[in-house]
Structure 1
Amino acid sequence: MELFLDRLVLVKEALLENWKAKLGSLIVAIIFFYYVQYTRNVTRVVHVKVDIPAVPEHLVLNSRIPSFVKVEFFGPQEVMDFNPANFKIILINPGPGPGENRYRLDMLPRPPEGIEARFDEGMTVTLDRLAERTLPLVGDFQLNSGSDVRIGAVTMQPQTIRVSGPASVLDVMDRVSLNPLRITPGTPDYATRVLVSTLPEFVRLADDQPYEIDVRVKLLDSTANESTEGIFLRELPVNCDNAIPGLKLDESPTVKVLYRAEASVAEGRLTAHTFCPVFLDPNTRNILPSLRIPGIPVHIRDALAQKDIEILEVTPSVVNLQFSVQKVRAPTQVQKGMEEHLIR
């Protein structure tokens, strides 16, 4: 028994001898192991394509979503040889609504085993209520070179166009422009098709609306006027071609219409119209997009729709419009009495 205890004491002394040095060696070995493992790892930075999220039917995007997101892949060099095009970033939000929405980012598929992917956790995306409006088409027509002709009446088909997009953007729009048209004088009737100009971001033409507009331009001799035989002049008030509930057009502008006919037409046959691109905001009672709208084209209408009249020129061809809220008259005592009688 004494021999066993003596040997146990010797083992204890052997284990405790230089224990600090042995512990230090163990720590150094562990650090060296992880250092070797770490130095074998590399970081690869790539840009991964973003999958644009679907939004509810009544909403529309109103902020840009980047096409790519920077992703840092960290792991062993020997497994870094992969195609980043196989990955995509998806945006997750279970219940987006109008305004700013925070989307969580995720990457699919998962990176290879042993690789860590680092990228932003979230992204803010702005959504807006999806709206649709009808707006007038406005062109920019000029002659290519100086000559003895002038631009006369311009007709467009269609005269208005429907657009859809974020309500906050559409609310401040008063027109859709056409690409500029430069006309080389030739035949008296110049006809062509003109593309719709670039629309504001996130706004597009509504379904079934044309991207090209039929345009016809009268080119008149510089001397053509009402003193020429067979040419007449008529001054007409301009009226809104569309209903503007709760609003009225202040002091309807007037235009002078130069037309060719066998005789002066009867009063009321020709009328001047323009599309009034305004509405009354039901919440704020403000006139949107503004109470003053400049440069809207005027179109002449023939009540009989006959070919015996040729519209040569409308001066001015565009008008400035001003609107105000239509005042609702208070009911008279008689009307109040009738209402009370009906209630009883």
Structure 2
Amino acid sequence: MNQYDNKKNYKAMVAVTLLAIFLWFMVKMSKKYDYAIDVPLRIVNTSPEYCLKYPVPDTVKVEFTGTGDALFRLQFYPVVYQIDLSDVKERIVMDITQHPEYVRFPEDLSVMVKSIIRPQQIVFEMDRCQEKTVPVRPVYQVKTEPGFTLVAVKLEPDTVRVRGPMTYVDTLSRVYTARVVENDARLSFTRKVAIQKSGQFLAAYEPERVDIHFDIQRLAEKEITNVPVEVIHVPSQLEVIPLPSFVTLYIKGGEKILANARARDFRVIIDFRRDWKGEGVKIPARIETDLNILYVESRPSQFELFVQRK
């Protein structure tokens, strides 16, 4: 037998083997089997006034019976367990094992629902729906490299629309983001972060994610001179002069913020009514600014007040 005959016999053996496998597969696929899968639970609710109060299971375990080929094709079709709650306005307990007709699947598939395996019961509790726009609070732990500082955190958008049961939404004053963790940061960055949803109540959030921008700048120092000292809450019959009347401020913060900082951005304030204890007694001042800085110090930090009647 030459090499050509050997190759011809090998091809014939392969063909026979493949045919046998195909015939075995066709026989197996034509037999009936039971097959259990998790199908999504779909809630239909056309009522604009009522909504689910608490979360329900995402899936239902359904056992089907049918031929092997039909059960195989079932995996590629949209199958759901659908419950209509449009007319429900209170709490109901449903034994879903008694309602195989709620399983939705293509009619052209030669399969049947044999049983609902789990869960056996689902509690559906309805509540009046309410909507509210609430602020978003970022949750983060950002550490910078030495010589850098986090100067600002901005959200876009900074509010979300929440729709859900009145029991939850009516008491809601804010929502929080998922935690952002960043170490050794030296450049500004933005993260798209999910809103933390209620673990107890079922609600919809729009949008479900927000952008958080972290403004990181190089740490800098600066002195601001000739900042006037103000005295407030002075009785109308008195004239009060702080000594000294102008101070120098030492500030630390992001270099971009400090580059534009001027004396007009700060107020050095002494509260006469609250702090004055008599002539010769030095008192502190408080410093106010809208700038996002890390540290500010007045030089000097305490003052005498010259008080006289008008």
TM-score relative to the length of structure 1? 0.43
Structure with larger Rg: 1
Structure with the bigger percentage of strand: 2
